[in-house]
Structure 1
């Protein structure tokens, strides 16, 4: 597997994030959770607009302007060999929120459809756990749909400890905790 790094969302990758968006829209059209970790990427009119939203989410003072109740960081997973954006992952500073604390968790992630099956999600989550540690978050809640075996394997490979299954709007969600 090729090495990746996580970098904060930046205009240097505006063209790449827009291509990523288009690929997800085309390949995951039937997936209601197609933009996990990419809040509002599907509704923005440009990459620049979305990257500015990501910047505003970094602060408790400005995150609500974007429709988010909790500050977060959004990272691009960049493959080092060719500088290609292969995924997006976010990290919420806390989950003191009814939805996040119940089934949303500390982060969501999406791997570019053409890059799936290469282990990038596992590395993205591993690197994001390091980001959580830097922020002083002692443990993170990660959730996935019960039928999403790829995501479940990613969580378990990163030390996820199963807590329980819960139903949310008719969908079973599995909750896992990872000690940072």
Structure 2
């Protein structure tokens, strides 16, 4: 796996972001959670609009008007060798909300379909844990669908400790906690 870095969305990546979006639409049509970590990327009219929304969501005073329940940072996972987006991951500043505290957790992530099974999700989550530490988060709740073995493997590789499986409207969600040191 090539080295990646997490960067905040910016216009430099607008064209590649829109290509990333289309690749997910084309490859993951049947996946309801295909834009995990990419809040509103599917409904935005342009990369510029989505980048603006991500910026506003960082602020407690603006996040709700932009569709977020709590402030969050969104990061593009950029492969250093070719400056290409390989994924998107978000980090919610806290989970003091009924949905987030129950099954939403601190983060969600999506890996570009053509870049899956290369270890990027594991590295994205590891880098996001570093960002969480910078925000003062001591313990992260990370969840995945019961049948999502790849996501579970990613969480476990980053120190996730299984807590339980819950039912959310007939959908089984596994809950894991990651202690941040």
Note whether the superposition's TM-score is higher than 0.5: yes
Determine the structure 2 residue equivalent to 1:11: 11
Please tell me whether residue 111 in structure 1 is matched to residue 124 in structure 2.
Answer: no
Q: TM-score with structure 2 length normalisation?
A: 0.99
The CA distance in 1 between the partners of 2:106 and 2:47, in whole Å, is 24
Determine the structure 2 residue equivalent to 1:73: 73
What displacement does 1:9 show? Answer: 1.1
Give the secondary-structure state (helix, strand or coil) at the position aligned to 1:153. helix
Give the secondary-structure state (helix, strand or coil) at the position aligned to 1:15. helix
Give the secondary-structure state (helix, strand or coil) at the position aligned to 2:118. coil
Determine the structure 1 residue equivalent to 2:86: 86
Gaps of 5+ in 2: none
Determine the structure 1 residue equivalent to 2:59: 59
Give the secondary-structure state (helix, strand or coil) at the position aligned to 2:87. strand
Determine the structure 1 residue equivalent to 2:140: 140
Gaps of 5+ in 1: none
The CA distance in 1 between the partners of 2:117 and 2:64, in whole Å, is 35
Q: TM-score with structure 1 length normalisation?
A: 0.99
Deviation string 1:90-126 (CA, Å, 9 cap, x unpaired) is: 0000000010000000000000000000000000000
The CA distance in 1 between the partners of 2:51 and 2:103, in whole Å, is 25
The CA distance in 2 between the partners of 1:93 and 1:9, in whole Å, is 17
The CA distance in 2 between the partners of 1:91 and 1:9, in whole Å, is 13
Determine the structure 2 residue equivalent to 1:120: 120
What displacement does 1:67 show? Answer: 1.1
Please tell me the root mean square deviation across aligned C-alpha atoms, in Å. 0.4
Deviation string 1:19-57 (CA, Å, 9 cap, x unpaired) is: 000000010000000000001100011000001000000
Determine the structure 2 residue equivalent to 1:170: 170
- Runs (4+) of structure 1 exceeding 3 A deviation are none
The CA distance in 1 between the partners of 2:69 and 2:120, in whole Å, is 28
In the alignment of these two chains, the number of paired residues is: 180
